[in-house]
């Protein structure tokens, strides 16, 4: 349907938890809605680690935004990256150079992985924020197993089977538990040479406890369930370096070929180009009505907002229920304002927190209620299936989980992307060399593929070959005697 031009125009940036909820709740309002997102899908981030651990496929946890909103007559969806917002002229600027005017703007562009300025670490540690990140973790974990299966040297094999997760929040806990379980299940079932070996999974957390948003008791339960799975906890220890060889904690090197970073997020770059006050982590500071100061027509919600409830000292956490409730509030605020009515300040209803640790293991709390183990795990499954977008997706996920529960199998163990064998070979070469191995060669590997564009360096005694075009590998420096 062609949108009536005279209706007020609401632009929503981001089709995540907050933005999608706001757009949907405006279905019956006398407005034209334009939802902009740089990706074409709504992503259910709480299940990303399941894709990383090959339990689910990307399509199981992501829904095309266009399909979700196809019946909403007053809403159009555009695939576009917003590069800037001009608050004065009420315009959003899109890549590549278009502009859109708005009467109301809802900014819900989310957060990104925060390496706290250590850009070198970002080259070697994998974040988990998008489907691409999850598929890359899955690929790296599976490649490490493949390389270990071919590796004769026990030390190098050990390094390939060592996985370090940094950050003891819900994502770190889920990943560490998932890795330990994945290693057991996949190694035993699929690999001959390394079948008897358990992977070493280390969870590093700078504070002295896990799960900062939860009670001490839940944190202790989570720790003991992780330890039951064989996860090594390094609490109260700070990472001082991350290289292609592993992670450094003070004087100690944890040699590992797969390092996952889940130690923090910050607002996406767009926040800095809105021209409004930013708080911790670059989040935009908002009023009790979720609006920007002096701009009652602009709401910022979800992970991009720094919202401190009146009377509290702490900002609301970056979790899906906050984003969804603020999305609903944004729609109500706009509708009431158009009708000339005031809207009371946003109030968050905290329904509790949960984290899963593995099969039949989880912790959950809501008010005074505390759950652990199987009961908490069932609650976790139920809530996550309930909030997935689309009934077909819910059924598929339920089926996959039931199937995995009884068969111990993971269906999505695919290594995608090109030249898997070569990556496995590279990992194996790195594994043979420690951080201070005195290797005769330093081999620089420059990934010039359109999606990669990253540069990695590896110490190797065997220069590797490559076909031109995608991966270029050359001897850069001779640091020792020539071979």
357 touches 229 (CB < 8 A): yes
**What residues numbered 14-43 form the site for ligand FAD, per CB under 6 A?**
14-19, 36-39
Q: Which is nearer to ligand FAD, 112 or 456 (CB)?
A: 112
Q: Of 161, 202, 319, 364, which one interacts with ligand FAD (CB under 6 A)?
A: 319
Contact between 318 and ligand FAD by CB under 6 A: the answer reads yes
Which is the catalytic residue, given 174, 181, 244, 432? 174
| Window of 66-74, 287-295, 314-322, 462-470 that interacts with ligand FAD by CB under 6 A | 314-322
Q: Of 124, 138, 200, 268, which one interacts with ligand FAD (CB under 6 A)?
A: 268
Q: CB atoms < 10 A from the CB of 184, how many?
A: 16
**Which residues have CB under 8 Å from 316's CB, separation 6+?**
305, 307, 308, 309, 322, 348
d(CA 100, CA 82): 10
Q: Of 46, 167, 168, 183, which one interacts with ligand FAD (CB under 6 A)?
A: 46
Q: Which is nearer to ligand FAD, 156 or 319 (CB)?
A: 319
Q: Which is nearer to ligand FAD, 110 or 425 (CB)?
A: 110
**What residues numbered 410-439 form the site for ligand FAD, per CB under 6 A?**
none
Structure tokens at 386: 């309930």
Q: Number of residues in contact with ligand FAD, rule: CB under 6 A?
A: 34
Q: Which is nearer to ligand FAD, 304 or 376 (CB)?
A: 304
Asked about 232 being catalytic, the answer comes back as: no
Q: Of 58, 309, 321, 390, which one interacts with ligand FAD (CB under 6 A)?
A: 321
d(CA 143, CA 158): 14
Least spacing, CB of residue 466 vs ligand FAD, in Å: 33
For residue 326, give Cα distances in angstroms to 74, 214, 218: 21, 22, 27
Q: Which is nearer to ligand FAD, 53 or 427 (CB)?
A: 53
242 touches 217 (CB < 8 A): no
**What residues numbered 68-107 form the site for ligand FAD, per CB under 6 A?**
81-82
Comparing every residue's Cβ against ligand FAD, the nearest one is 16
Question: What angle, rounded to 10 degrees, do the helices at 216-228 and 170-190 form?
Answer: 10
Least spacing, CB of residue 299 vs ligand FAD, in Å: 12
d(CA 171, CA 353): 12
Helix (H) or strand (E) holding 182: helix 170-190
Map residues 119-158 to x or -, x wherever contact with ligand FAD holds by CB under 6 A: ---------xx-----------------------------
Classify strands 441-447 and 361-366 as parallel, antiparallel or unpaired. unpaired
Least spacing, CB of residue 383 vs ligand FAD, in Å: 9
DSSP code for 277? -
User: How far is C-alpha 232 from the chain's CA centre?
Assistant: 22
Least spacing, CB of residue 364 vs ligand FAD, in Å: 11
Contact between 346 and ligand FAD by CB under 6 A: the answer reads no
Least spacing, CB of residue 223 vs ligand FAD, in Å: 18
d(CA 340, CA 362): 47
Provide the CB-side half-sphere exposure for 442 (13 A, CA).
12
Helix (H) or strand (E) holding 457: strand 454-459
Contact between 168 and ligand FAD by CB under 6 A: the answer reads no
DSSP helix, strand, coil percent of the chain (3-state; round to 5): 35, 25, 40
| Window of 2-10, 45-53, 181-189, 358-366 that interacts with ligand FAD by CB under 6 A | 45-53
Structure tokens at 107: 């900014």
Phi-psi region of 88 (alpha: psi -120 to 50; beta: other; left: phi over 0): alpha
Please provide the distance, in angstroms rounded to a whole number, between the alpha carbons at the two ends of the chain: 71
Q: Which is nearer to ligand FAD, 21 or 432 (CB)?
A: 21
Structure tokens at 476: 């850069």
Q: Which is nearer to ligand FAD, 262 or 439 (CB)?
A: 262
Q: Which is nearer to ligand FAD, 48 or 63 (CB)?
A: 48
Least spacing, CB of residue 48 vs ligand FAD, in Å: 4
Q: Which residue matches tokens 């190797």?
A: 460
Helix, strand, or coil here: 340? Answer: coil
Q: Which residues bind ligand FAD (CB under 6 A)?
A: 13-19, 36-39, 45-46, 48-49, 81-82, 108-110, 128-129, 170-171, 268, 270, 302-304, 318-321, 323
* Active-site amino acid positions: 174
């Amino acid at each position: 349907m062609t949108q009536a031009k005279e209706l007020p125009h609401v632009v929503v940036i981001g089709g995540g938890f907050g933005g999608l909820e706001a757009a949907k709740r405006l279905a019956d309002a006398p407005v034209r809605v334009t939802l902009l997102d740089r990706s074409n899908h709504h992503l259910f981030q709480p299940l990303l680690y399941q894709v990383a651990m090959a339990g689910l496929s990307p399509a199981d946890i992501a829904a095309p935004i266009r399909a979700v909103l196809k019946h909403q007559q007053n809403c159009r969806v555009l695939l576009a990256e917003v590069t800037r917002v001009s608050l004065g002229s009420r315009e959003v600027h899109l890549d590549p150079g278009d502009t859109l005017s708005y009467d109301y703007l809802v900014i819900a562009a989310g957060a990104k992985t925060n390496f706290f300025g250590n850009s070198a670490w970002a080259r070697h540690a994998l974040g988990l924020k998008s489907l691409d990140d999850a598929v890359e973790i899955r690929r790296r974990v599976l490649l490490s197993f493949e390389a270990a299966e071919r590796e004769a040297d026990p030390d190098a094999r050990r390094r390939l089977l060592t996985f370090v997760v940094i950050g003891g929040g819900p994502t770190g806990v889920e990943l560490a538990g998932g890795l330990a379980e994945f290693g057991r299940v996949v190694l035993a079932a699929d690999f001959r040479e390394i079948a008897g070996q358990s992977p070493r999974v280390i969870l590093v957390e700078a504070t002295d406890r896990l799960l900062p948003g939860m009670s001490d008791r839940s944190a202790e339960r989570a720790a003991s369930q992780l330890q039951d799975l064989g996860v090594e906890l390094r609490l109260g220890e700070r990472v001082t370096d991350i290289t292609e060889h592993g992670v450094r904690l003070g004087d100690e090197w944890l040699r590992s070929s797969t390092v996952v970073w889940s130690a923090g997020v910050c607002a996406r770059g767009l926040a800095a180009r809105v021209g409004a006050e930013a708080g911790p982590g670059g989040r935009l500071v908002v009023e009790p009505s979720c609006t920007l100061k002096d701009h009652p027509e602009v709401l910022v919600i979800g992970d991009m907002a720094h919202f401190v409830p009146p009377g509290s000292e702490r900002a609301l956490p970056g979790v899906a229920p906050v984003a969804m409730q603020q999305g609903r509030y944004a729609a109500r605020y706009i509708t009431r304002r158009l009708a000339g009515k005031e809207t009371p300040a946003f109030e968050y209803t905290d329904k509790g927190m949960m984290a899963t640790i593995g099969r039949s293991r989880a912790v959950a709390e809501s008010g005074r209620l505390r759950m652990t183990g199987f009961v908490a795990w069932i609650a976790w499954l139920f809530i996550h299936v309930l909030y997935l977008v689309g009934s077909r997706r819910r059924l598929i996920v339920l089926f996959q989980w039931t199937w995995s529960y009884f068969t111990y199998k993971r269906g999505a163990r695919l290594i995608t992307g090109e030249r898997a064998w070569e990556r496995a070979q590279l990992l194996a070469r790195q594994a043979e060399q420690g951080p201070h191995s005195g290797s005769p060669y330093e081999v620089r590997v420059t990934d010039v593929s359109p999606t990669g564009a990253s540069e990695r360096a590896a110490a190797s005694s065997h220069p590797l070959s490559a076909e031109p075009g995608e991966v270029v590998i050359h001897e850069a420096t001779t640091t020792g005697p020539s071979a």
